[in-house]
Amino acid sequence: MTKSALQIARAAYQPKLPKALKGAVKVQEGEPTHSVADEEEIKKLFPNTYGMPLIKFVEGEEKDYAPMNVGVILSGGQAPGGHNVISGLFDGVKKLNPANKLYGFILGPGGLVDHKYTELTADVIDEYRNTGGFDIIGSGRTKLEKEAQFEKGYEILKELGIKAVVIIGGDDSNTNACVLAEYYAAKNYGVQVIGCPKTIDGDLKNEMIETSFGFDTACKTYSELIGNIERDCNSARKYWHFIKLMGRSASHIALECALQTQPNICLISEEVEAKNMSLDDVVTYIANAVAARAAEGNNFGTVLVPEGLIEFIPAMKKLIAELNDFLAVHAEEYAAIEPNKQREYIISKLSADNAAVYASLPEGVARQLTLDRDPHGNVQVSLIETEKLLSEMVGKKLAAWKAEGKYTGKFSAQHHFFGYEGRCAAPSNFDADYCYALGYTASMLIANGKTGYMSSVRNLTAPAEEWIAGGVPITMMMNMERRHGEMKPVIQKALVRLDGAPFKAFAAVRDMWAKETAYVYPGPIQYFGPAEVCDQTTKTLLLEQTK
Ligand code: FBP
């Protein structure tokens, strides 16, 4: 395989480990834990893994560990640093006992069920250290939820002598990890299951999981691109750029990129919901900013749009919820309807309010809302072209204002969607270190007999030396939510908090950004050079941790 000069140099990077993980470790147990909500239901569903204590690793005495084999699965969307989680896990497992083996299941959780695996040897691991992507074993979105799948998985785990499986995934995949851990514990199969917090979306976080891996690199990559667009925008001075950013539900990516690049407008879905804004309110907000800039002779600007916006507009949210429940049961019937009659069919099946909202949507968006759900029952928001919907509606409003003599500017829009551009970027130093530490911590959780835990590395704005490694019971993060028309235990998604420091910092300056051209151009991620350029983490984390 031909490698770039950067890839070759980067392969030699040795990720930093927290001090406590550098030698032998021992477990320090904290208080028993509770789920974030719906305690009684969660406790009943997870009798073997509920309420376990928080765990912290501290320096301990060397001891011998019996040989063991471990399996690893990459689940869901790619996030920078996944290969370092696996290399940290590999190094940890080999340090415990050089005879230990690590197996990777191919193309996500489906690999466990279908018995597709490969042994990850030192040669393979060395090819992937500090690289982006999940291509070492591939990823997939198969949902592990049925007993038959757990049993099929157990067959291969038994055959390979695997004592523990590490599932590297987001909130849904870690929910599955917890259900699997509970099932194997209840059956006394002697297989442990450990999760690792992955997702560029940044919505798998809480007190013990300060950030999910990949968020740092993905946001830096998008911010580089946004900065480049802003500079182009400020050079040509003739376009409004509408930039949609991935992130499924939460607006963490959009907010972080806004803090890094200071665009004219950044929409925050959580705020749109809290203020009960309609689609027209959002459009009017943008159009007002466009008109105010035009009045100063500035017919250009940048707008950041979070991927999940549509689902947070209250009327749209109600509509999507009804569509989700309806399509969970009638998907086949719907698919059999002729395409030109599908819109009418949906309108006839919805409640009056939702039917009216659905009927008011442009054809393309209406159709996109009924497309296939992902295996977890979510609307595939990345397929909805919100950036085009908004610019089209802003254009129409401005034309109406022009006719009324309220606006005299020119409005010409360009559209972008950044998601895939950042998911497999080479991990920043932060993600390279964080991921390696998460993987290494997972090996220590396994060695200490833990199951149903998520690997946790905290104190992340301090130097890596001072990071705190340990484990959090996954049940602690759970609550009950409606999925596919049924109440299910799931990890609670962390949305942008409107009372949190990152949002407040943004809200304090956004009116100035809207009016002036206050762009910041972050430039590309740097891997070599001064620490203030190379090792900075996200503004979100820095603001959240400033006491
Ligand atoms: P995960 O939650 O699995 O980490 O996925 C993140 C994400 O990149 C979202 O931001 C996006 O909505 C989704 O994946 C797109 O997934 P896919 O490429 O499978 O359609």
Q: Which of 143, 173, 201 for a ligand 1 pocket mutation test, highest count of atoms within 8 Å of Cβ?
A: 201
What's the pLDDT at 210? 97
Query: pTM surpassing 0.85?
Result: yes
DSSP letter for 465, please.
G
What's the pLDDT at 251? 98
Closest atom, ligand 1, to C-alpha of 381: 12
What's the pLDDT at 376? 64
Query: Do the beta carbons of residue 104 and residue 118 sit within 8 Å?
Result: yes
Determine the distance separating the centroid of ligand 1 and the alpha carbon of 422, expressed in angstroms.
Answer: 11
Among protein residues, the one whose CA lies closest to atom 17 of ligand 1 = 77
Same domain? For 371 and 244 the reply is yes
Among protein residues, the one whose CA lies closest to atom 12 of ligand 1 = 248
Same domain? For 453 and 374 the reply is no
Among protein residues, the one whose CA lies closest to atom 14 of ligand 1 = 77
Determine the distance separating the centroid of ligand 1 and the alpha carbon of 254, expressed in angstroms.
Answer: 15
What's the pLDDT at 168? 98
Determine the distance separating the centroid of ligand 1 and the alpha carbon of 93, expressed in angstroms.
Answer: 29
Answer whether residue 173 is part of any domain.
Answer: yes
59 φ/ψ angles, rounded to the nearest 5 degrees:
-60, 135
Q: Which of 212, 368, 382 for a ligand 1 pocket mutation test, highest count of atoms within 8 Å of Cβ?
A: 382
SS3 per-residue string spanning 394-428: HHHHHHHHHHCCCCCCCCCEEEEEECHHHHCCCCC
Same domain? For 261 and 380 the reply is yes
Range of the domain at 357: 219-419+500-545
Answer whether residue 318 is part of any domain.
Answer: yes
Q: Which of 85, 134, 199, 310 for a ligand 1 pocket mutation test, highest count of atoms within 8 Å of Cβ?
A: 199
Among protein residues, the one whose CA lies closest to atom 11 of ligand 1 = 248
Answer whether residue 26 is part of any domain.
Answer: no
What's the pLDDT at 382? 66
What's the pLDDT at 321? 87
CATH of the domain at 108: 3.40.50.450
Partners of 470 in the beta sheet?
56, 456
Among protein residues, the one whose CA lies closest to atom 4 of ligand 1 = 199
Q: What is the pLDDT along the chain (547 residues), one digit of tens a residue?
A: 789 999 999 999 999 999 999 999 999 999 999 999 999 999 999 999 999 999 999 999 888 888 999 999 999 999 999 999 999 999 999 999 999 999 999 999 999 999 999 999 999 999 999 999 999 999 999 989 899 999 999 999 999 999 999 999 999 999 999 999 999 999 999 999 999 999 999 999 998 999 999 999 999 999 999 999 999 999 999 999 999 999 988 999 999 999 999 999 999 999 999 999 988 899 999 999 999 999 999 999 999 999 999 989 988 889 988 998 888 888 889 989 998 899 999 999 999 999 998 988 878 888 888 887 776 666 776 678 899 989 988 999 999 999 999 999 999 999 999 999 999 999 999 999 999 999 999 999 999 999 999 999 999 999 999 999 999 999 999 999 988 778 999 998 999 999 999 999 999 999 999 999 999 999 999 999 999 999 989 999 999 998 6
DSSP letter for 393, please.
H
Amino acid identity for residue 176 in this structure:
N
Closest atom, ligand 1, to C-alpha of 75: 3
Q: Count of domains in the chain? A: 2
What's the pLDDT at 287? 98
Among protein residues, the one whose CA lies closest to atom 7 of ligand 1 = 77
Answer whether residue 234 is part of any domain.
Answer: yes
Query: Do the beta carbons of residue 475 and residue 51 sit within 8 Å?
Result: yes
User: Which of 516, 542, 519 is CA-nearest to residue 261?
Assistant: 519
Closest atom, ligand 1, to C-alpha of 212: 4
What's the pLDDT at 141? 93
Token readout for 62 is: 């060397």
Answer whether residue 37 is part of any domain.
Answer: no
Query: Do the beta carbons of residue 454 and residue 11 sit within 8 Å?
Result: no
Determine the distance separating the centroid of ligand 1 and the alpha carbon of 95, expressed in angstroms.
Answer: 34
Same domain? For 412 and 510 the reply is yes
Determine the distance separating the centroid of ligand 1 and the alpha carbon of 100, expressed in angstroms.
Answer: 33
Same domain? For 284 and 310 the reply is yes
Residues labelled as active-site residues: 201
Same domain? For 188 and 321 the reply is no
Same domain? For 144 and 240 the reply is no
Ligand 1: residues with CB < 6 A are 76-77, 79, 170, 199-201, 246-248, 307, 380-382, 419, 423
Same domain? For 246 and 137 the reply is no
**Alpha-carbon distance values, 495 to 213, 350, 500 (Å):** 16, 28, 10
Partners of 198 in the beta sheet?
213
Same domain? For 352 and 385 the reply is yes
Distance CA 416, CA 242 (A): 6
What's the pLDDT at 413? 97
Residue position matching structure tokens 């300060």: 210
Query: Do the beta carbons of residue 494 and residue 249 sit within 8 Å?
Result: no
Same domain? For 128 and 152 the reply is yes
Closest atom, ligand 1, to C-alpha of 198: 4
Determine the distance separating the centroid of ligand 1 and the alpha carbon of 82, expressed in angstroms.
Answer: 14
CATH of the domain at 238: 3.40.50.460
Determine the distance separating the centroid of ligand 1 and the alpha carbon of 258, expressed in angstroms.
Answer: 20
**Alpha-carbon distance values, 23 to 20, 59, 62, 101, 432 (Å):** 7, 7, 8, 21, 20
Answer whether residue 51 is part of any domain.
Answer: no
Closest atom, ligand 1, to C-alpha of 308: 12
User: Which of 90, 120, 91 is CA-nearest to residue 106?
Assistant: 120
**Alpha-carbon distance values, 166 to 105, 381, 450, 514 (Å):** 10, 28, 11, 45
User: Which of 231, 380, 211, 222 is CA-nearest to residue 300?
Assistant: 231
Answer whether residue 52 is part of any domain.
Answer: no
Closest atom, ligand 1, to C-alpha of 78: 4
The alpha carbon of residue 347 and the mean position of all alpha carbons in its chain are separated, in whole angstroms, by: 33
Closest atom, ligand 1, to C-alpha of 423: 8
Sort 412 into a burial class: Cβ within 10 Å, 0-12 / 13-18 / 19+.
exposed
- Neighbour-count burial for 118-152, b at 16+ CB within 10 Å, e otherwise: eebeeebbeebbbbbbbebbbbbbbbbbeeebbee
Angle, vertex CA 203, rays to CA 29 and CA 379, nearest 5: 135
Determine the distance separating the centroid of ligand 1 and the alpha carbon of 347, expressed in angstroms.
Answer: 29
Determine the distance separating the centroid of ligand 1 and the alpha carbon of 171, expressed in angstroms.
Answer: 11
Same domain? For 172 and 317 the reply is no
Among protein residues, the one whose CA lies closest to atom 1 of ligand 1 = 77
Token readout for 112 is: 């466990």
Answer whether residue 495 is part of any domain.
Answer: no
Distance CA 311, CA 386 (A): 11
Same domain? For 413 and 433 the reply is no
Query: Do the beta carbons of residue 461 and residue 541 sit within 8 Å?
Result: yes
Q: Which of 248, 380, 384, 493 for a ligand 1 pocket mutation test, highest count of atoms within 8 Å of Cβ?
A: 248
Residues in the chain: 547
Token readout for 250 is: 């939460």
What's the pLDDT at 378? 67
